Chain A
Amino acid sequence: MRKIKTFATHALLAGIGFIWIYPFLWMISASFKSQPEFFENRLGLVPKAPTVDNIIRIWEKAHFGTYFMNTIIVTLFSVLLVLVMTMMAGYAMGRFRFWGRNLCMAVFLGSIAIPLVSTIIPTYEVVKSMNLVGTKLGLVLSQAGGAHVIFLLLFTSFFESVPKELEEASKIDGCNYPRTFFHVMMPLCKPVATTVVIMETIWAWNAFMLPLVLTLNNPLSRTLAVGLYAFKGENTVDWTGIAAGGTIAVIPVILLFVFMQKHFVEGIAGAVKS
């Protein structure tokens, strides 16, 4: 009886799991099918005559190589910016009751409810006034803007938990504020920093509304998420090409997640706890 129950549980969970990842398996398989096979064998997941033509075609002819590099650059630099600023702010808010701390915290927390759509028009104008519309720098800066509430909370609660003695010891050793931060605190917060890097990498990689609006006038600055959308608009019939583009866009984040999922899951769980 017990065995049957366990088996039923596994069958159910595995069945749900299969439905959950079927679209990705289908997409990856479709990107290796030839056009005729794609329409013949719609459900199947194993291509009979695997081909890399789709990947090559979309990488070279549809600029996915460029989109890929754009996405990497934008993701990399916005992650760096977000990491530095949330770490520094988290340190200040976690360790010190400075003047204006609670106000900052309240304002940041309140921003959770503000939808991006309410600020997207002026954000576009801000980037425009910097002459950065359609550039990667504009994308990096606007992607790094915003409140990053989860990361601030993670860093703040981490630094709050560091024992006071550490700081006093470094003060006695003659360390000033920046030295304490760089030499004592920064090495300590590596686990939180890893979580932040992974979460922001995935978010920046997947961002859609901001890059969509900011690359309207310069197709070559598109990221993968926007590039695939534009490609679909122009080539509604090239489904194997679309599948190949989708594969290029999601494989890097799936790999990153599968290997680093512990950090990502802990980050999400930690956010709801605090």
Chain B
Amino acid sequence: MVRTKNEAVSMAAGRRRAERRKMNMWCWLFMVPAVGFYLLFQGYPILCSIQYSLLDWSGMTANAAYVGLENYRELMGDGLFWNAFANSFVYMAMIVPLELAVSLFLAYMLNNEKLKARSVYRTMYFIPVITTASVVGIIMIFLLGVQGPVNHALTALHLLGSPVNFLGNAKYALPTLVVISLWKDCGTYMIYWLAGLQGVSKDVYEAATIDGADRRQTFFHVVLPLIAPTGGIIAILCAINSLKVFDIVKTMTEGGPYYATDVIATYVYRNAFSSEIGMPRLGYASAAALFFGGAVILIGLVLNTVKDRLAKSM
């Protein structure tokens, strides 16, 4: 039997189509575990959150009542919600610049091949990152307490007249949390910066040295502009992570004193899971969590646009 050219072509196309179908099928089989877990513990919960946020619900299935947008309306008039919302953003505004500056300083110091023992320093700066935040928080309560070593040392050195209750004073509590988080997470951002700094070629440093620039001038006039794009990404990651803060706040202050350090995560936790305030309010807490989640995503998008604009104008 003689096949025409057309038949041969269409058979080849058919084979290719079959091959593609097989490839698609296998790829999706490989995706099933990841996608399945994602849908179950991330995708589905997001959809559920939307539904819960429209309910007046204490967790017992029997007494869930549909209340429409009532939760959101109540939220808008809830001073404690706005207090937590504002605290989250104040916390972010305080920690992002500090964290970026300190971690960049450490990274720049360590990004020097002639420096001996730099891997030892890197390990030291990184240790807080890998330790359990809740454990760190609890230990810090004592270290920073009125009777703790920090106050002891500061008064002994006459830097403080009398011991300061860092975590019990509404004025100092949030800044203290910022300092502790700064210390805790600095290593991560230092590694990010190091990755960026390693992209700057040695010739750049050499050229700057030949031109008579010292290390500080080289940094501000040559290196900083070069790593600014990486810095944009690092800043966004830092901002998003700081808005998610929970472990440190929960273990160190529980949001107190008098809600001075209450962030959205502790606010939602208290409303949904804690028995301190009577019946849990899952619907109301979901509305708060969703509203905040939306705000975080919005901030992420805005920052990303700002970063792209800046990159273009440079």
Contacts and interface: CB of A to CB of B under 8 A. Distances in A.
Nearest to B234: A272
A115 B293 contact: yes
Interface string B63-101: 000000000000000000000000000000000000000
A193 interface: no
Contact of B300 (A16, A43, A113, A116): A113
For chain A, which range describes its interface: under 10, 10 to 19, 20 to 34, or 35 or more residues?
35 or more
Interface in A218-274: 224-226, 228-229, 232, 239, 242-243, 245-246, 249-250, 253-254, 257-258, 261, 264-265, 268-270, 272-273
A70 interface: no
Given A123-B45, A228-B134, A20 B183 contact: yes
A119 B133 contact: no
A175 interface: no
Give the dominant DSSP class at B's interface: helix
Contacts of B191: 265, 268-269, 272
Contacts of B149: 26, 42-43
A198 to B, nearest CB: 10
B8 interface: no
A122 interface: yes
B195 A269 contact: yes
Nearest to A236: B141
Contact of A113 (B23, B27, B240, B268): B240
B178 interface: no
B313 to A, nearest CB: 23
Give the dominant DSSP class at A's interface: helix
A115 B266 CA distance: 12
Interface in A78-112: 81, 84-86, 88-89, 91-93, 96, 98-101, 104, 107-108, 110-112
Interface in B122-146: 122-128, 130-136, 138-143
Given A118-B292, A145-B42, A225-B134, A268 B192 contact: yes
B138 A206 contact: no
B130 A257 contact: yes
A253 B136 CA distance: 13
A227 to B, nearest CB: 10
A104 B148 CA distance: 50
B26 interface: yes
A265 B122 contact: yes
Closest 3 CB pairs of A and B: A145-B41, A122-B48, A122-B45
